[in-house]
Structure 1
Amino acid sequence: MKDTSHHDERIAKMSFASVYPHYVSRLERNGRTVEELHQVIEWLTGYTTKQLQEIIDNKVNFETFFKNATLNPNANLIKGVICGYRIEDITNKTTRECRYLDKLVDELAKGRKMDKILRQPK
């Protein structure tokens, strides 16, 4: 795999607040809601809607966002390709966790059922 250290550093320093509106607009264009987005984020990170608003207001970067999160134990079940990278092959922890979130938002936008997105047993 090629060296992605500059890419990893850029992702780590990017603020969650700068990406959040893009998540919202993509989902709303595809008939999904902010509430569903928050449900997905809470499942992955443990952050409540109130905590997310504080993160946005304080312009917390992704490195801190994931460092302070309580990652769902089933997050490792999130697999596949997102942004041209296979999630399972990403070695940088923060970048992999960001791609987990990107993948969940992508699945939500594509109309996948919530129980599948949240990796719920049948």
Structure 2
Amino acid sequence: MTDAAITLTPAEKKALKAQAHGLDPVVMIGDKGLTTNVIKEIDMNLSAHALIKVRVAGDDREARLEYAQAICANTGAALVQHIGKLLVLYRPLSAEKQAEKAKSAPRKPKPPRLTKRQHNAKD
């Protein structure tokens, strides 16, 4: 676990919020609260994905904000967004992970889809 604090500019936050829109929560903080196992799970997911959503059970807004601060302090992540019971967290990937992703074979772009008329015209 790291101690380096990450600060995000408003433009970076906006871009990360857009990326996080389609994500599903990968960790849930239940009735027992923020345990060390939950923090480890969040840390592991941040290492794998860089941008994650965490769902917090309970209706206490202040407790959710405290959880977010504790998570950021323990994992070195930045809070991108707190909306309802969801926390969006970001921590950049390590240099090793970035190199690993860069080495993976680039995907071939799919050809544009043909309409029925275009497909029939080919014959």
TM-score by length of 1: 0.25
- When Rg is computed on C-alpha atoms for both structures, the one with the higher figure is 2
The structure whose residues are more often strand, as a share, is 2
Greater per-residue helix proportion: 1
